A and B are shown apart, each in its own frame.
Chain A
Amino acid sequence: DAGVIQSPRHEVTEMGQEVTLRCKPISGHDYLFWYRQTMMRGLELLIYFNNNVPIDDSGMPEDRFSAKMPNASFSTLKIQPSEPRDSAVYFCASWTGFGYTEAFFGQGTRLTVV
């Protein structure tokens, strides 16, 4: 397996534009997570899915953020409209759950909103 794959690796966009981040989890992993990392706040859990169903989105900062998982091999995180304070590195991770195996992270998407 190629691991967790995220695209794009870097995204620069203007304030107000829509941004879509993409993730392909490891096959067979039941859980998918979206995290955001900043210097000030560290790694924050935004939302996670179990078997394609959103379980907890309490970490999503505002209604401008939305996430979907239409099937077991693909998820998106959308920001509309984007703001400069959304600039961060966004990570996707997948896991079999309940601590029996390690969680695997993608390489992240570095988002810059100007």
Chain B
Amino acid sequence: KQEVTQIPAALSVPEGENLVLNCSFTDSAIYNLQWFRQDPGKGLTSLLLIQSSQREQTSGRLNASLDKSSGRSTLYIAASQPGDSATYLCAVDNQAGTALIFGKGTTLSVSS
């Protein structure tokens, strides 16, 4: 059974810092990994999708990497801003490749 772990559970940084969020998963036989953002009281918004054949994806100040063999992914946020404050969730598909299994997320707070 696929399990996803995210470290740290919470992170507080001053504005302008570069930071890394970590995600690990137990079964390396995945089709894809997705990073989501969730604002308080809101739904999830997809940030980046990395297919199993890819090593990384970039969108603006966000860069996500995937090391499938070791079961790890990182989300790098450059020059953090207060608007980046949210919960970031990592998700991988199940063994059938038909559903997403989520970690519990990292809650990020960026102070100005």
A residues sitting closer than 8 Å to B (CB atoms) are 4, 31, 33, 35, 42-43, 45, 48, 50, 55-56, 91, 93, 95, 97-108, 110
Scoring B residues 79 to 112 as 1 if CB is less than 8 Å from chain A, else 0, what string do you get? 0000000000101010011111111110000000
> Do A107 and B42 touch across chains, with their CB atoms under 8 A apart?
yes
Size of the chain B interface, CB-CB below 8 angstroms: 27
Please name all residues of chain B whose beta carbon is closer than 8 Å to the beta carbon of A106 when the two chains form the complex.
Answer: 43
Given pairs A101-B49, A102-B49, A105-B43, 11 additional interface contacts (CB within 8 A): A42-B104, A42-B105, A56-B98, A56-B99, A93-B100, A98-B32, A98-B93, A98-B97, A99-B34, A102-B34, A102-B46
What is the CA–CA distance of A108 and B96 in the complex, to the nearest angstrom?
25
* Residue among A4, A93, A97, A108 making CB contact with B98, cutoff 8 Å: A97
Q: Which 6 A-B pairs have the closest CB atoms?
A: A99-B32, A102-B46, A42-B104, A99-B31, A43-B102, A105-B44
Please name all residues of chain B whose beta carbon is closer than 8 Å to the beta carbon of A50 when the two chains form the complex.
Answer: 98
Across chains A and B, the number of contacting residue pairs, with CB separation under 8 Å, is: 65
Q: From DSSP, what is the main secondary structure of chain A's interface residues?
A: strand
Residue of A at shortest CB range from B36? A105
> Do B43 and A107 touch across chains, with their CB atoms under 8 A apart?
yes
Scoring B residues 20 to 34 as 1 if CB is less than 8 Å from chain A, else 0, what string do you get? 000000000011101
B63 at the interface (CB under 8 A from A): no
* Residue among B32, B43, B51, B105 making CB contact with A91, cutoff 8 Å: B43
What is the CA–CA distance of A101 and B93 in the complex, to the nearest angstrom?
12
Please name all residues of chain B whose beta carbon is closer than 8 Å to the beta carbon of A105 when the two chains form the complex.
Answer: 36, 43-45
B residues sitting closer than 8 Å to A (CB atoms) are 30-32, 34, 36, 41-46, 49, 51-52, 89, 91, 93, 96-105
> Do B44 and A91 touch across chains, with their CB atoms under 8 A apart?
yes
Please name all residues of chain B whose beta carbon is closer than 8 Å to the beta carbon of A110 when the two chains form the complex.
Answer: 41
Residue of A at shortest CB range from B105? A42
Please name all residues of chain A whose beta carbon is closer than 8 Å to the beta carbon of B42 when the two chains form the complex.
Answer: 107-108
* Residue among B51, B100, B105 making CB contact with A103, cutoff 8 Å: B100
